[in-house]
């Protein structure tokens, strides 16, 4: 029951998202309901570093997120030679806990856009969903557990794949969703419109709306949410 859920409205999430380039992913482990994903840049030669005890699937999500951001660099107002002259580092804190699963692509892309646009992500918002190279958002598993765990952590807004709306309607009661706003998205453009609205309003970025007439389902036909590996924890 929701009455047994202890909600923290302030704390780690609010503290970490005080600066740009930090996004919060909806996750579930016995100790937390979220994973902060941080991005940073430095002078370099186009290197890309990933750290934080992440598995192969999350590494692939990071690569896909970076590819999408680079292919849309002009819409983000990023200089043409930026990636050739800078290194990028993505880190998932709480490094002692191994983590993996196909649900962090949206969070990683959002962190990168926040980094490059120097715009802070909306406070107390979390997100989940995998992305394709063309920017479509794929459904994921474990929605009920993730939403409730995020709520315990003090999240007020959650971005979920549109394909997971049925999971929310079937598995979560109105009481469990109380004081929580759920945003359903089909593309990363739509997710950014919620998480970094100032980017959408920027004349240089022109990140929204999506291209007219583009069917977000044209690149995939998901039969069911992606099956995620069980969380791995050290003893």
* Domains and their CATH numbers in the chain: 2-201 (3.30.230.10)
- The catalytic position among 103, 114, 117, 195 is 103
pLDDT digits (tens, 9 = 90+) for 65-100: 999 999 998 887 788 789 999 999 999 886 556 666
- The catalytic position among 21, 99, 117, 146 is 146
pLDDT digits (tens, 9 = 90+) for 96-154: 566 666 678 999 999 999 999 888 999 889 999 999 999 999 999 889 988 998 888 88
- Omega cis (within 30) before 209: yes
217 is catalytic: no
pTM above 0.85, yes or no: no
Task: Give yes or no for a contact between 188 and 104, defined as CB atoms under 8 angstroms apart.
Answer: no
Q: pLDDT-based confidence at 217, cuts 50/70/90?
A: very low
Q: How far apart are alpha carbons 103 and 30 in whole angstroms?
A: 18
146 is catalytic: yes
């Amino acid at each position: 029951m929701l009455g047994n859920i202890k909600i923290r409205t302030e704390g780690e999430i609010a503290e970490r998202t005080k600066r740009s380039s930090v996004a919060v992913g909806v996750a579930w482990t016995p100790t937390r309901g979220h994973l902060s994903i941080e991005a940073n840049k430095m002078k370099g030669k186009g290197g890309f570093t990933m750290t934080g005890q992440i598995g192969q699937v999350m590494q692939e999500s990071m690569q896909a997120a970076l590819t999408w951001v680079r292919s849309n660099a002009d819409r983000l107002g990023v200089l043409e030679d930026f990636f050739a002259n800078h290194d990028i580092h993505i880190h998932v804190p709480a490094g002692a806990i191994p983590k993996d699963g196909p649900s962090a692509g949206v969070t990683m892309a959002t962190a990168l856009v926040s980094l490059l646009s120097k715009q802070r992500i909306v406070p107390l918002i979390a997100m989940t969903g995998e992305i394709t190279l063309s920017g479509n958002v794929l459904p994921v598993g474990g929605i009920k557990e993730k939403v409730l765990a995020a709520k315990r952590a003090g999240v007020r807004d959650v971005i979920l794949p549109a394909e997971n709306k049925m999971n929310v309607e079937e598995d979560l009661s109105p009481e469990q969703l109380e004081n929580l706003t759920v945003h359903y998205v089909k593309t990363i453009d739509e997710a950014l419109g919620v998480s970094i609205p100032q980017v959408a309003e920027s004349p240089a970025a022109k990140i929204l709306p999506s291209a007219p007439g583009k069917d977000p389902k044209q690149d995939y036909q998901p039969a069911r949410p992606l099956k995620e590996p069980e969380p791995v924890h050290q003893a």
